[in-house]
Each structure stands twice: as C-alpha cells, then as structure tokens.
Chain A
Amino acid sequence: MRLRLIPDDTKINFFGFAKVTFGGSVVLLVLSIVAFLAFGLNYGIDFKGGTTIRTESTQSIDVGAYRAALEPLNLGDVAITEVFDPGFGADRNVAEVRIQAQGDAESIAPETIAAMEAALTAVDPNVTFASVESVGPKVSGELIQSAILSVVGAIGAIVIYIWLRFEWQFAVGAIVALVHDVGLTIGLFALLQIKFDLAIIAALLTIVGYSINDTVVVFDRVRENLRKYKIMPLIDILNLSANETLSRTMMTSGTTLLALIALLVLGGDVIRGFVFAITWGIVVGTYSSIYIAKNIVLMLGVKRDWSKKDPRTVGRYADVEGK
C-alpha cells in the first residue's frame, strides 16, 4: 500500500474560509510590521558593524563572569550569548561575545582583541577562540544596501518573468504572496530576536525562490484549466487547480521539510538561524501559494475571452488542446 499524504480527488473549497485564511494572513503581516517597528531586528555585525568572538571551553560558561571580565575594557555595548546545540557534549561549552564597532575605526584594533582574549582567559583558562570576525561600519552600511537591493531585485525579476509567461494578474498575485512570505519571516525574526545577518538574506531569497516555485505550479495548472473549461467560473477553476496540484504541493513541501529538519537538528549551530529561516519560509510559502496568490488572482479576475480579441493566442492554445 502506498503512502498518500493527500487522498485522490480532493474537493476542498480553498475560498471557503477566505475571511479566516486571507484575513489571518493580513493580520499576521500587520503584526510582523508592528514587531519589526517595535522590537527591531537583532542585526549581526554584517549589518551593524562590530566584532564577534566565538569562545569554546570545556568548563561551563558563566556569562556574568565573562561580562565582568570585559567590563573594565570599556568596549561599549557588549552582548554575550551562550550557544546550545544537541551535538555538543557536556565538555563543550560555546559562547558568542559581540561588541559594537569601536569609535570610528573601520576594523578592530589587534590590541583590543588581545585584551578581550586575555580577559576571558583569566576567567576561564581553558577557553579557546574558535573564530573572530570584525566588520567595519563602512562595509556594514553597504551590506545592508546590497541586501535590500538583492531581495527587491529578486522579487522584481521574478514578477517580470511571471508577467511574461502568464497574465499580469498572476504577477500581482505572486508579488503579494512573496511580500507576505518575506514579511512574515522578518516579523518572526523581530519577535524572537534571532540574529539577522547576511546568511538570513540568503535565506529570504531562497524562500522567495521556493515560494514562487510553488505558486507557479498552481498557476500553471490554472492556465491549463482556463483553456480546458472555457465556461467554468474562475473561482471553481482556481479551486480545481489547487486541488489537482495539492498532492504535489504537499509531497514537495514534505520532502523539503524532511531534509531541512535533518539540517536543523544535526547541521550545527553556525547555520541554525539560516536553516530556521528557510524552514519557516517553506511553511509560509506553501501556505501563501494556496491561500494568498490565488485570492489575488480571483480579486483581479482574468480575461477569459481571448478568442474574440486576440486570435493569435487562441491558435497557440488550441494546439495544446488538440492533443
């Protein structure tokens, strides 16, 4: 017997609870914006400038003692977080020490790093420094700019592609779904205050890519069904298409999530934030392609009556139909 995530021939009315699903998304999106404005993002040094030192020790970590040791160095804003990972044994204790950019200096002075390392070694003689990363304010400013540009650029390029391949209503549906996915991800990061750095931007772009992938599969079926059932109301066509592709949507999201959960649990703490963002994005991306993108297409309507206005298009479709 085969495993079936979704029974054959589902007839779910995806617009049945539009008030709850679509409205819920709107509310969540608004909440995300509120969270972003209220808490802000916990920017990593990529975007804020500063220095991060990753310490590892066989002894357990006393964050208070670390803080007290660094206090006399007058480094300004110091953040110390202990890092946990199921892969660490009892004798492996990891912490991340982050300090703000020092004065106008672009990169941190070697003396400062040496002083910090000496202060931490005094607290815990077994401590080792697994990595030291420092980004100057000049570069971090540029990184923010290019990060925003790349997310906006990616969404723009995709929308243009969708517009060329489908109708403009589909492009609008796609862009709303993408903004929804990116917005909710940023909102979650603001809410949970997870470190937001360059890798998260890469994750956002991956989400954009995955979400649009899902949306396009549904749209492709809508396009096909529009040709097949010339008089069926648009809402029924959208529902039919979503039902027909539902099994695939769930399968692909399922396999992707399986792989991602393995990575989330076993992939180590260094990329956990990145993987977490993608995992969350896959969930909202799948949701948005079923519940958001189609609703927009329904609201905008699609020009159905090609035969009278544009005979060229009909010729193209008729060919497919004939097989």
Chain B
Amino acid sequence: MLHISAYKQVMIWLTVVVGLALALPNAFYSRVETHNDALAQGQDDTSWPGFMPSGLVNLGLDLRGGAHLLAEVQTADVYATIMDATWPEVRDALAADRDTVGFVTREASRPDQLIVRISEPAGAARALEIVRGLARPITSLTGVGSTDIEVAGNGPMLTINLSDAEKLAVDDRTMQQSLEIIRRRIDEVGTREPTIQRQGDTRILVEVPGVGSAQEVKDIIGTTAQLTFQPVIGGAGSTSDPVSAGQEILPSVDSPGTFYLLDTAPVVSGEELVDAQPSFDQNGRAAVSFRFNVSGARKFGDYTLDHIGEPFAIVLDNEVISAPTIQSHIPGGSGIITGNFTVEESTNLAVLLRAGALPAKLNFLEERTIGPQLGQDSIDAGKKAAMVGSVLVVGFMWMTYGLFGFFANIALIINMGLIFGGLSLLGATLTLPGIAGIVLTVGMAVDANVLVFERIREELKTAKGPARAIELGYERALSAIVDSNVTTLITAFILFYMGSGPVRGFAVTLGLGIITSIFTAIFVTRSLIVIWFAWRRPKTIEV
C-alpha cells in the first residue's frame, strides 16, 4: 500500500544529490571564485576539483558593493548630428541648379530639423524636387515603403525633418552603439562581471561590482571622448573674443587663462584612430601614443608636411590638451599626445580614445553606490539570521511532530541546499531581500509538510491503520498544497516581472523556494517516511 516505486525513489534522490552538488561550491565561495577567475584567464588551477560543479550564486550589488547606474540615452542628439551632415549635401545638390533656385542659406531651426532658404522664390518647386530626390528608402522591417527624410516647402523656405520610421531606426542604432561603447569602456577597465543591459527603448542599466563610487563609472562611460587635431590660427584672450565663421576659441587644459583660436575644421578626428595606448614620452612623463587608419594617416602626413614650424592643437572634448609645434613631417600615421597627465589619466584617456565616442549624450536617472563593507555586514547579518531562524524552526517542528518532524527537518535542510543549487544553476543573483526570501522560505517551506502531517493526524482517527492514514494524508492534502502554492507563485512571478534589482532577487528566491519546498515536502519527506515504514513496520504511529 504505502509504496513508492524503486524507479521513483532513484529519481527523487538523484535530484537531491544533483541539487546539493550544484549548491556545494557556494560553501567554498572565495576558493571557487579564485578558481573560476584563474580558469577564465586560461590558467591551470587545481584548487577546486574539475569534476565538481563550479557555478556560484552571483551576489547582488547590495551584498558585494559597487555601483548601479541607470542612464537615458539622448537619442535626439543624433537627429541633430544627422541634420548637420545633411546640410552640405542639400547645399551641394541645390548649388548645381543655382540658376533656378538662387543662393541657399541655412536658417535657424530646432536642432532636429533643417530649414534652408533659397533666394529665388520662383525656383521653390524645383528646389523641393531636388531635395526630395535626396531621400533614401528605409530598409528596416517596420519602415518598409518610407524614406528617411520628409521635406515640406513654404515659399522660399524648405523644411527637412527625419521621418518617424527613420527616427525609430536611428534610435535603435544609437542604442546598439551606446551599449557597445559602454561595454567596451567598462571591459577595458577590467572589473569583473559588470551588467550592461538595455532597458526599455532608450535606457541602459549599468552595474559594476567592486568600484568605489558611481562617479568613477560615470567618468569612464559618460565622457564623450571627442578627439580632434585642429590647426591653430593664433592665441586669444578669452572665449568671448569675437571670431569669424569657421573659427573657435578653446581653453587650454593645463594652463588656465590660456586660449587658442582654432580652425573648426579638424585635420583628423578621433574616428580615424585605430589604436591608443598609455605610454611615456622621452622625458619619462605619462603620455598616450596613438595610430591612425590609412586615410587618417595620409591626411595627417600631408598636413604635417605642409605646415612644418606651425603649431597645431590636440583637442579633447573642446579643451586643448596640448598645442605642439610640428617639428617634421610625420608620415607613418602614429604619434604621441603629451600633457600634464598622471599615469592613471593617460590610461583612461587611452581607453576613451580606443572605445570611440558615444553617439549621444547620457542622462543619468538613477545612481547608487554601495560600499563593500556594508554589503559584507549584510551578508553576515543574513547568515546569522538564517541560521538562528532555521534552528528555531527545526526545533519547533521536532517538538511538535516528533519523528515525522525530524523527517520534515531533513527535507528542510535539503530544501535550503536545493535553493542554492537552483540559484547557482540559473546563475541568478542573490540580493539582501533575496536572503530574506530564503529565511521566509524556511518558515513557509514546512507548510506543505504541516498540511500533510495535520491531515495524517485527522485520518488516523478514522482510517484503518497507519499506512492507510499516511497515504490518505498525502492524497487529501495535495489540493490545498497545490492551490496555496500556485497563488504564492503568481505573486513571485509578478514581483519578478515588475521589480528590478534587489526586489527581483527576492522574487527569484521566493519562487525557487516554493518549487523546491513542494518537491521536498511531497517527494523527499514522503520517501523518507516510506523507507522508515518499510523498515520498522509500526503497528501504530504518532504524528
């Protein structure tokens, strides 16, 4: 009567063993962590046996310490860039028909549109036709049949806007590019396991464990490293001095109060860099060496050949890093930037140059820094609470249900192991609320067993013999166990779906805890009871 087939028994205990094996590495956390790091770097490491699972539960930022940032990508910046690039194209196209349309000027407008005026109103129709001819069809899936720009005419004025389909395509491209650049910049600094995720349409979530402050991360990713090499026209007194078209005044980084009058058209820009490395100049000061691609090298070579003896400026993000005088023709396309750098600054600058410019500005919506000590304190407190809580629950169960309580306690301990095994298997992140979720699960996990045991007590009063009572107890408690746990599982799903960060970690442990506790209550405890029953064959039982 009271029987579980051998096949089922094997399956149950195999699951337990596998689950516990998966959980085991977490008991030797730092050892396995160093082992995994060593393997990741291609080293041979024998500090942890290779046949054992080595997956670990990831610790969330609130436990490990680190920085969390939520940034919004200002994709509209890119619209402006596109419009700026469209202007010469429109101008040149219209210039070809100067007889009909007259002269073309760009009018002031919103940054994401382009308004041009032609001097011959009579040629407006022709101008409209020419500019519309510049529109390109969009190849994206959603934008089939539409073109990238929309042109409207109003007398001598032509207004050019990006089409909605093109804006979507641009947004998507900008996000991909931003994600990639952020990822590369953070990887270059070499922190372990950063999280860089797209959230929604225009947001990026960045989590970097182990850094001292969110500001450090912002410094690495937020800087739009726009490097240009511009001809120097002369000096200037301040940025408010009058300048003629095509010129600009930029301050010097190293000597405050020094300003340079520069030609806005760069000789070469950072996009043509192929490599940048921290290095040292001949005087042993920190510097950054760089190399251009073929076209950049040619432009740079031609310019240095023609302008020997003249100064040129190395401009980073609208500040002049240095303005050396060209000593000789530099043909190979490689050079060195010197300035008053520290070694760390030169390293960061090299990283920024190598990763390229962010296509759009980032606006930080949320930032959190958690100190590593606070995280460690939380882990210690959580461990202590979990241990004390478990001892209390185990004692309580044993006092209430005796031997059956002892079975339930074994199942409870297995259950804890399975939660960690599951978390390691899923590569889920354990957060502080997640630890609370585990402790809560300890309290709630016994529920399924309690339901069964209480039912067995009831059935003992009426049923014929203990075996039948146990069987009926499991059978009749099942619907309550399933219904009550499905509802809790629903809330865990909603928490996971709606929540973020720590809350999501809580949802994962809660949901996993429900599943493992049903498994241990229905299968593991039952299996223990069946084995015990077959061995002792008791005439009466007390639950």
**Contact A134:B368 (CB < 8 A) given known A252-B447, A259-B392, A267-B439:** yes
**Contact A133:B367 (CB < 8 A) given known A3-B400, A165-B483:** yes
- Closest residue of A by beta carbon distance from B215: A110
B233 within 8 A of A: no
Q: Quick check: A132 and B368 within 8 Å, CB to CB?
A: yes
Task: Please tell me which one of the listed residues A129, A157, A198, A275 contacts residue B499 in the complex, with CB atoms under 8 A apart.
Answer: A198
Bitwise interface map of B from 509 to 538 toward A, beta carbon under 8 Å scored 1, else 0: 010000000000000000000000000000
Give A105 to B503 CA distance when docked, in angstroms: 26
B470 within 8 A of A: no
Task: Please tell me which one of the listed residues B366, B371, B454 contacts residue A134 in the complex, with CB atoms under 8 A apart.
Answer: B366
Q: Quick check: A270 and B371 within 8 Å, CB to CB?
A: no
Q: Quick check: B480 and A259 within 8 Å, CB to CB?
A: no
Q: Quick check: B490 and A139 within 8 Å, CB to CB?
A: no
Give A205 to B476 CA distance when docked, in angstroms: 28
Q: Quick check: A107 and B392 within 8 Å, CB to CB?
A: no
Give A213 to B382 CA distance when docked, in angstroms: 25
**Contact A217:B480 (CB < 8 A) given known A3-B399, A258-B389:** yes
B122 within 8 A of A: no
B442 within 8 A of A: yes
Give A58 to B73 CA distance when docked, in angstroms: 41
Q: Quick check: B487 and A206 within 8 Å, CB to CB?
A: no
B-side contacts of A208, CB under 8 Å: 491
Q: Quick check: B364 and A107 within 8 Å, CB to CB?
A: yes
Q: Quick check: A247 and B454 within 8 Å, CB to CB?
A: yes
Interface residues of A in 47-88 (CB under 8 A from B): 54, 56, 87
Q: Quick check: B381 and A255 within 8 Å, CB to CB?
A: no
Main secondary structure of the interface of B (DSSP, over half): helix
Task: Please tell me which one of the listed residues B363, B364, B396, B479 contacts residue A3 in the complex, with CB atoms under 8 A apart.
Answer: B396
A128 within 8 A of B: yes
Bitwise interface map of B from 368 to 401 toward A, beta carbon under 8 Å scored 1, else 0: 1111011001100110111011101100110111
Bitwise interface map of A from 195 to 218 toward B, beta carbon under 8 Å scored 1, else 0: 000110110011011101110110
**Contact A212:B488 (CB < 8 A) given known A133-B369, A262-B389:** yes
Task: Please tell me which one of the listed residues B72, B378, B440, B451 contacts residue A256 in the complex, with CB atoms under 8 A apart.
Answer: B440
Bitwise interface map of A from 174 to 205 toward B, beta carbon under 8 Å scored 1, else 0: 00000000000000000000000011011001
A138 within 8 A of B: yes
B-side contacts of A106, CB under 8 Å: 72, 363-365
Q: Quick check: A202 and B506 within 8 Å, CB to CB?
A: yes
Seed contacts A113-B215, A132-B213, A213-B485; 11 additional CB < 8 Å A-B pairs: A3-B400, A135-B366, A153-B494, A198-B500, A213-B484, A221-B480, A251-B446, A252-B446, A255-B442, A255-B444, A266-B388
Q: 23 A-B residue contacts at CB 8 Å? A: A106-B363, A134-B214, A135-B366, A150-B498, A161-B490, A199-B433, A199-B503, A202-B433, A205-B491, A205-B494, A209-B490, A210-B488, A248-B447, A251-B400, A252-B447, A258-B396, A259-B439, A262-B439, A263-B389, A267-B385, A270-B374, A271-B436, A274-B433
